[in-house]
Chains A and B, each alone.
Chain A
Amino acid sequence: AQKVTQAQTEISVVEKEDVTLDCVYETRDTTYYLFWYKQPPSGELVFLIRRNSFDEQNEISGRYSWNFQKSTSSFNFTITASQVVDSAVYFCALSEEVLGGGADGLTFGKGTHLIIQP
């Protein structure tokens, strides 16, 4: 069975600090997909990134970067020079490939509540 663990329940940093959110996953499949979502205080879920299991390239988007390491089953998310607007709950999620096509939903971690203090 698939599982996603976000061990950090809450992180609090001062603005402009760098912060890394950890995500460890478990799956028996060789083909799978990893996602990060952001849930700001307003409550909506915002898609941030998708990574395929066969693509271990790290990715950078502005102040955001993601480090995918299959050897440690981790998909960590770093925010550089954090800002107050980054305050949110961040979820890591996993989906496995469905034989024959189709989609069967995401398995989410419990989320990390990130607080950026001014």
Chain B
Amino acid sequence: NAGVTQTPKFQVLKTGQSMTLQCAQDMNHNSMYWYRQDPGMGLRLIYYSASEGTTDKGEVPNGYNVSRLNKREFSLRLESAAPSQTSVYFCASSGGQYSNQPQHFGDGTRLSIL
């Protein structure tokens, strides 16, 4: 029972490089999310997808793009990585169609931008 799977777990990039973080869930959830966690800042929402075919900006979307490929997969892309994007990235999903559902998180991707 995998739940939410994120790849890769670790990545080091140089400034200006691009990469895509992958996320897949096997719980048939409608909604998926991307957060970043920085020391002392808690988790902040980057983008979310309330249902397949829709995506919306969260609190800190600048420098990122997302794709809801299908119901299972939600990817996060950094087009031109910057040191300020060094962070731990978490993908999450939630079932049902309302905001009262708990979110289930992946194990995170630790990303360092040099």
A residues contacting B by CB (< 8 A) are 4, 6, 9, 33, 35, 37, 43-45, 47, 50, 52, 91, 93, 95-98, 101-111
Complex Cα distance, B98 from A50, in Å, reads 13
- Which of the 9-residue segments B16-24, B62-70, B72-80, B99-107 touches chain A? B99-107
Given A105-B48, A108-B44, A110-B42: A52 and B103 within 8 A (CB)?
A: no
Q: Is the CB of B42 within 8 A of A47?
A: no
**Mind listing 8 A-B residue pairs with CB under 8 Å?**
A35-B102, A44-B105, A44-B107, A45-B43, A102-B98, A104-B50, A105-B33, A111-B42
Which of A33, A95, A103 counts the most B-chain CB atoms under 10 A from its CB? Answer: A103
Say whether B26 faces chain A, with CB atoms less than 8 Å apart. Answer: no
Given A44-B108, A45-B90, A91-B42: A106 and B103 within 8 A (CB)?
A: yes
Q: Is the CB of B102 within 8 A of A101?
A: no
Q: Is the CB of B40 within 8 A of A103?
A: no
The one of A45, A102, A110 that contacts B40, using a Cβ cutoff of 8 Å:
A110
Which of A95, A98, A106 counts the most B-chain CB atoms under 10 A from its CB? Answer: A106
Given A44-B105, A45-B90: A103 and B44 within 8 A (CB)?
A: no
Q: Is the CB of B107 within 8 A of A43?
A: yes
Q: Is the CB of B102 within 8 A of A98?
A: no
